[in-house]
Structure 1
Amino acid sequence: MVASFSMGRNSATWSVSPCTRILLLTLATWNTLPSLVQAECLANTEFNDFFEGLVGAPIPSEGSCCMFDVCGLECPVDVPEPSNGFGIAVAISIVISFLIGIATFFVVKGQSVNFFVAGRSLPLWIVSMTLAAQSIDSNAILGNADLSYKFGFYDGAVIPIGLGLSLILNGIFLAHHVNNDEVLTLPDIFAKRYGKVVEILVSLTTICSFLMLLAGNLVGFGAITSYVWGISDTAAIWIAAGIVWVYTASGGLFSVAYTDVVQGLMGWSGCIVMAFWFIANEEPNAPPPSIGYPLYVYPDNIGDGGVCDMYDGVPCAVTADACCYNIERWCPEFNVTGQCERFDRGAYPVGDQRIFSDQMSNFRALTPFPNAIFWNWATIFILGFGNLAALDFQARCMASKTPRTARIGCIIGGLFTFLIGIPFAYMGAISRVYYGPDSIHAEFEVDTCLSQLALPTCGLWLPDKNAFIKLLTHQAPDFLGGWCLVGIVAASMSTADGAILAMGTVFAHNIMRQFDEWIPNLVTPDNLLVTARVATLPFTLISTFIAAFYRSSHSAGATGYLLIVAFDIVLATVVVPLFGCFYCKNPSPRAAFVAIIGGAITRVVLEFALPKDGFLLLPYDAPEFLNTGPGASTGTPVFWDVDPGDMWDETVEPCVQESFEDFTGVDSLSAFLVCILSFVSVQTIEHCTGKPLFSFAGMQGYHKDTTEHPLKGSSIDKMDETAFQDDTTKRGNPDADEGDA
């Protein structure tokens, strides 16, 4: 998954030269009249003046655009507004979810155990659906489709792969332990083994993580509603935040669980039907070889049985032994009206593919474009393991009726994530058919060159951030497109509400209650529910600001990237001590403390110490990994049938390009490794010496007072070391004591 990359011969191939400019201008149906437009298309004033001289007016000229005036590319065609029916369908689905969420206010009955963990009463089918709903969010669907459209299949598919893997791993290793612990929140598990200090550290890191998770889903929610309702992205995000916050604060996990079920039933079905309909019915499923345009030279020759023969190419007039676009067949009225029956922008000389099978094993698999192979593997690892510390996943495990229900529910939820999420990566190639660089809607950054694609200008394709949404509203059958939009909105809501609930719960229960010693009765079992509800508001506001900023300053893929950032945070800090809770004999509070601090410091230091240009590409020594440079020439690309003297000569006018250099992912994995080494080192030292490595207040396990609403018959208040050891023994883990002798 790359933040941006250049497309040239496999995207835009029309540049101009003095001898061909007049020919290309006949493709336009507008008159070259004196213009009042004063914007400049090229930073190089010499180049810009040259093209202004050809047009006879400042460029872009009135009624035209830089793409046409400089590169000969037809200006992007606007996509019509979606029909009102899509906006109405989305609005109805939101109202249904909202009313169900509000209705659960009466199910909570003012009891915190109902609000936080749904009374520990959720059966397998609800657990499975609500876990899958948290996993199959707008990141796994909309973010997935956006990224696969912008880059390649695996750039999107790694998101549902990582999320589904995480649920399966959680089911195998952690879910039953989490349910057995009978706690209200994930930080409670750390409090019991490691004490207040570690509990607070875990609470803060998981809240930071979920601020990003919530922001990503608000971006997805807002992207759809802003488009179908015709409002700004920012307004849509704020509306989304308000709707989800109200019903989440009302019903807590009951509202989240039951709305997840409804959202899953009406959402997943629409998403999966839509994905498989496109896969089965769209032909082609990826952009075919380009037919080209007048003067375009095909990549093969007549009689080879390749692209030239496919489009009835003819011998070129200037370039010897080459095959060119057949003007007489495809542009019979070219010399009179400039009309062509069929042409494109030459974006894919030999065609695109839905999936490059070696993308995850060959860093040059996407030649001539860069392949973010390292970042894609890092994404799977970050999501697969980082999500094990997800507050919403573990809250559903705590709410399950039995440990077995929690375990099986996670595995089923993971399989659902694979089934529903992965097919959406195929939507990227289909989106490129209609909104990719060869489409009539494509837009290119004019002042860019790309030597590996022989493009002196128009080397960078600018993907449409709403391409997939436009595919659903204009190319899909109306009913299926609307159904899928409803599904994505439902998926966004189902994860957003879980994130809001998790942050409010952790803040009230695990942070605010620490102030009891200084402010008596600040948070008690009696007012815990109210405090948690109030606490959801500021976190919702913070995430909304993040979402609004990110959506306004980033293009396609914002949802997916925010998801990865969310679990990058907890991978570096929380996951290792979590495993230590259940799989380490006498887990040490000092080990957990050092691991969290060490992982966090490493992650922060590497964030600023490692080179990062924002493109998520390691600096491989290959031409594919050179970024675009500024416009380099007024000549034509070398695959035009023109006199060689009119072509771009890169030896005379070089394209000044810099190598991509971004070590994002290295910092994430390094911080995780430091966290492991820190935990194991302290744990080993204390085991060998038989005494704590250091000690200070708040480093002793304890259990919170929940006597008003006891947890499955437990009446334990704060425990000393012996009581804690007895409690863990009863849970089937006789070796797990506090370790703070």
Structure 2
Amino acid sequence: MINAAIAGTVLLLVALGLWASRRVRGRSDNFAVAGRTLTVPLVVVLLMSQVIDSNATVGAADLAGGFGFWAGAAMPLGIAASFLLMGLFVARKVRERELYSLPEYFRTTFGRTGEVLSAVLTVASFGILMAGNLVALGHMLDYFVGVPYGLAILVVTGAILAGTVVGGMFASVYTGLFLMGVMTVGFVGLSLWMFLGPGYSAPEGLGVLDLAQLTDPAAGSVINWATMFALGLGNLVAIDVFQRVSSARSARGARTASLIAAAGTVVLCVPLAAVAVAGAGLLGDGASDSPILFQLLAGPVPAPIAMLVISGLLAASLTTVSGVLLATSTIIVGTLLPTRTLRVSMLRTSQLAMIPVAAIGILVALRVHHTGILLTLTFDLLCASLVAPFVLSLWTRLASTRALVISTVLGLGTRLVFFVLTPTIYGVENTLLYIPNTVVTASVDGWTTFLAAAVSLVVYVGVAAADVRGKRAAAVGGQVVGAPGAGAAPVGAVELAAGPVEISAADAGVAVPVKS
């Protein structure tokens, strides 16, 4: 029955993508941001699909079953915190600017250098996120259907491309509506079955009330807080979240949707960590190396509930991968392949750009078989590079290209150095890229997330503040300041001794999106 649910879900989602193509109508704005017509409920669904995909839920369940409730709850709590911050401080400003992508914001704020730098970092980091979802989907088809892991990844990627290439953001909308209904019923049913059936019980030290997981480093408290920190702040510069907020009908709607998504994420997803902890006790010594959630769904969980949860997980993962493909292809086309140079439409080029992006995701997924850890690592890297420049330039006058470059190099460099020297990644063995050494031990795991983000923040504030003082001093002397390439001021404002003079992006020599 689960096999039938998986096959039916894949076919339905492909059909929804083909049907969504009728809404695109050959327009790039319809393809990328759904014509900016999405209502609050639709934006909520799109945002929440990020946290209920297989990468997050399967990974979070495994962490909860192995390390305790708070290790698993850290993921949905971190993403919920990011939605809350997005609603309170970011969504309205982003939507009012009517942007297509995060690099477009960095272009208008930091110039061409900021655009290219943010594009490279976001595309690379979200390649990791997409690969994590493909890994979870590959394991799902391998475990339930018996399709070999490598072949499973190729099949699901082909299905995602078929729907996204023609349907764009509208395809994600329709898929999201389907998954939210199915997932809500499935998750609620799974929780009720566990708590009213077998009952909740947790191995010693792993339960909800075992708060040492939040206070004692030996019990994983630093790693749990680092997970919430990385997801809470890093998700603010998530390219798929940025694009989905930009698809809202209004700035107020974008803000409201973000706040509702924060509450919905806590209510729907945090109980899954308790289910996983209780499930670990229920399976006992019979637990294998397979994801604990899959073992529960294939074993004691009633078949109707299992089918709903599997269908929802599959739909959520396909939606997340679809969103990543859509966002990264838009970034690649808008940043690196100007359509005026290519002499083809932005819509057609965005569709074609999805193919190499998908190929990269496949290659990473075939080499690395991790899920939840890849999700956290994605936003960890963004915390160490783009978060501080984005937030501070959005809310203050500290906008300096020089500060962006220096803080990114030092913050990201700090994180990557510790990454390759630390034997664990968020408590899991570092099998991705580890250089054996006797200097850095597992005791720094988690702390390096905070350290790298602090380096990025302090360096950016220091350099940007110095640039602002330099601009003011130069203005007193009657010099022209603020050339975007020099990193002194955002594009759109050149400050003269006589006062600020506004210039357009086109006058500054910056490419702007072209609607086909």
CA contact (8 A) 2:182 2:309 kept: no
Q: Among 352, 365, 371, which residue is 1:559 paired with? A: 371
Q: C-alpha offsets along residues 646-681 of structure 1, whole Å, 9 cap, x if unaligned?
A: xxxxxxxxxxxxx97342333322221111112211
Deviation at 1:363, TM superposition (A): 2.1
Report the counterpart of residue 570 of structure 1 in structure 2: 382
Map 1:258-297 to 2 at 5 A.
258-283=174-199, 285-286=201-202
- CA change 1:418–1:698 in 2 (3 A) is same
In the TM superposition, residue 235 of structure 1 has moved relative to its aligned partner by 1.8
Match of 2:459 in 1: 678
Residues in 2 aligned to 1:131 and 1:523: alpha-carbon distance in whole angstroms: 33
Partner of 2:469: 688
- Post-superposition Cα deviations, 1:182-230, rounded to whole Å, max 9, x if no partner, equal 1111111111111001110000000011101111111222222221111
Q: Do structure 1's residue 663 and structure 2's residue 482 form an aligned pair?
A: no
Secondary structure of the equivalent of 2:49?
A: helix
Q: Distance in 1 between matches of 2:418 and 2:441?
A: 18
- What residue in structure 2 maps to residue 583 of structure 1? 395
The one-letter code of the counterpart of 1:208 is A
Does residue 330 of structure 2 align to residue 505 of structure 1?
yes
SS of alignment partner, residue 213 of structure 2 = coil
Query: 1:46-67: CA deviations, max 9, x gaps?
Result: xxxxxxxxxxxxxxxxxxxxxx
Q: Post-superposition shift, 1:616?
A: 4.3
The answer to whether structure 1 residue 357 and structure 2 residue 205 are counterparts is: no
Q: Aligned to 2:406, which of 580, 594, 601? A: 594
Please, which runs of 5 or more residues in structure 1 have no aligned partner? 1-84, 288-350, 365-369, 443-462, 552-557, 619-658, 704-715, 725-741
TM-superposed CA distance for 1:601, in Å, is 2.3
Supply the distance in 2 between the matched residues of 1:156 and 1:426 (Cα, whole angstroms).
Answer: 8
**Matches for 1:338-737 after TM superposition, within 5 Å:** 354-363=207-216, 371-436=219-284, 439=285, 441=286, 463-513=288-338, 521-523=340-342, 526-551=344-369, 558-585=370-397, 587-608=399-420, 611-614=421-424, 616=426, 661-689=442-470, 690=472, 691=474, 697=485, 701=490, 718-720=506-508
- Residues 1:420 and 1:696: Cα distance change in structure 2 (over 3 Å): closer
What value does the CA root-mean-square deviation take over the aligned residues? 2.5
Instruction: Give the corresponding residue for 1:119.
Output: 35
CA contact (8 A) 2:78 2:227 kept: yes
User: Cα distance 1:615–1:600, how it changes in 2: closer, same or farther (>3 A)?
Assistant: closer
Shift of 1:276: 2.7
* C-alpha contact 1:212 1:562 (8 A) present in aligned 2: yes
Quickly say closer, same or farther: Cα 1:284–1:126, change in 2 above 3 A: closer
Q: Deviations over 1:302-341 (max 9, x none)?
A: xxxxxxxxxxxxxxxxxxxxxxxxxxxxxxxxxxxxxxxx
C-alpha distance 194-510 of structure 1, shift in aligned 2 (>3 A):
same
- Alignment identity in percent? 28
Letter in 1 for 2:341: L
Against the structure 1 CA distance between its residues 530 and 408, is the aligned structure 2 distance closer, same or farther, given a 3 Å change threshold?
same
Answer whether contact 2:53 2:316 (CA < 8 A) is retained.
Answer: yes
> Distance between the aligned counterparts of 1:683 and 1:151, measured in 2?
41
CA distance in 1, matches of 2:507, 2:94: 19
Q: 1:693 to 1:275 in 2, by over 3 A?
A: farther
Separation in structure 2 between the aligned mates of residue 228 and residue 605 of structure 1, nearest angstrom: 39
1:146 paired residue number:
62
- Residues 458-492 of structure 1 show CA distances to partners (whole Å, capped at 9, x for unaligned) of xxxxx522332121122011111111111111121
CA–CA distance in structure 2, aligned partners of residues 568 and 353 of structure 1 = 25
1:537 offset after TM fit, Å? 1.2
Q: Which 5+ residue runs of structure 2 have no aligned equivalent? A: 429-439, 475-479, 493-503
- In structure 2, do the counterparts of structure 1 residues 567 and 615 end up closer, same or farther at CA, with 3 Å as the change threshold? closer
**Any conservation in 2 of the 1:249–1:533 contact (CA below 8 Å)?**
yes
Higher Cα Rg, which structure: 1
Distance 2:297 2:450 in 1: 37
Letter in 1 for 2:423: D
* TM-score normalised according to structure 2 size: 0.87
Structure 1, residues 40-83: CA drift from partner, whole Å, max 9, x if none? Answer: xxxxxxxxxxxxxxxxxxxxxxxxxxxxxxxxxxxxxxxxxxxx
> 1:283 and 1:579 mapped to 2: Cα distance?
44
Contact in 1 for aligned 2:194/2:200 (Cα 8 Å): no
